[in-house]
Structure 1
Amino acid sequence: MNEKLFFKAQLYFTAIITIAIFTLLSWNYFHEGVPSHHILNDKSLPEISNWWGALLLPSLSSFLFYTLKKRVVIKDENQNIHRFPINIVYAFISALILGILLSVFFTLGYENFPAYILLIILVSGLFFPIYRAEYFLGFVIGMTFTFGAVLPTVVGFILVLIGAFLYLGIRPLILYIVSRFLFRVVSRDQKTIK
């Protein structure tokens, strides 16, 4: 697949997201009205209408798909070579599932489970690059039905910052300490064998 086909896929994906958000907003408008959500679920803080999702979600998906293209499309001297790793799809789906689970548990009133899911996301930031576009987009889309697009984007952005710090800062430090410890153990064992 060349760069033009990837751009076409980006347009199709953005169109699907746009149709989905407008369908959701239309359904809400004709049934109970488009809901608004208070920041941090606190009535004293301002509320944000889900109408903002009509602008935010297509823009966000298009932008994140563009950043994904930078990692996936590799330019060769002769032509553009497209390499689409399947782990991007797995990352998107896992973040989508975690976003849906967080929304479902919040809606059902299980107050502890959303905190556990956020803890799972943060701990997985040591093992997986949760700061990447596919994780962020899956998480936001998974929570959009319940919370609209704005609040999940803000929460997702905070998780992206924390995930980048964990994966790019803390993880290499832990790996360095573990490798130094293992090197000492191995060198000590070799000395005792001699």
Structure 2
Amino acid sequence: MAVDRTPVLKRCRQLGIDPVVMGINKESKRQLRRRRRQESEYGVQLREKQKAKFIYGVLEKQFRSYYQKAMKTEGITGDNLMSLLESRLDNVVFRLGFARTRKEARQTVRHGHITVNGRRVDIPSYQVKAGDLVAISNKAKDLLPIKEAIVASNGKAVPAWLEVDIEKLQGTVLQVPVRNQIDLDIDAQLIVELYSK
């Protein structure tokens, strides 16, 4: 399985992303020195695609399949794409506060610590649907990383399309997220323009 091993803070600087979006509360002391040159239209579109891929931890082949699925779905392709990415199980676990970062959420899912509607799911790209109940499995409730994540996320706002019960370590997907409920600074229309060339 291919893994992106680029240092997170370095990649955040390159793409102009605030590390908090990735679940990291560090700031790099280094300043990115770049010559001020005009970025081409293609360069701007590519940057948006790379930003989305990096934030959600998706590689090119899988990202392209999300794009093709978004095209086939009714509605605006860019909004559909963001909705598909946001409703991945690893992202939902991160949004509910059961993991500090999306990478940690992905590992939590991979190790079988998450259940959806009472059934164990170990596929990070699993698409949640409205009404799904996402919970920490009984065996994993006492694990230190999950306890630390819950303490760290205490007071962090949960998106409107999710509802969390910290006491029971479970959350409900109220609806599939729509574009205005996704708080990421990604212009999905630029990604659509890039792929439609």
Superposition TM-score tier, normalisation by shorter sequence: under 0.3
Q: Structure 1 length normalisation: TM-score?
A: 0.24
Q: Structure 2 length normalisation: TM-score?
A: 0.23
**Structure (1/2) with the larger helix percentage:** 1
Report which of the two structures shows the higher radius of gyration computed on alpha carbons.
1
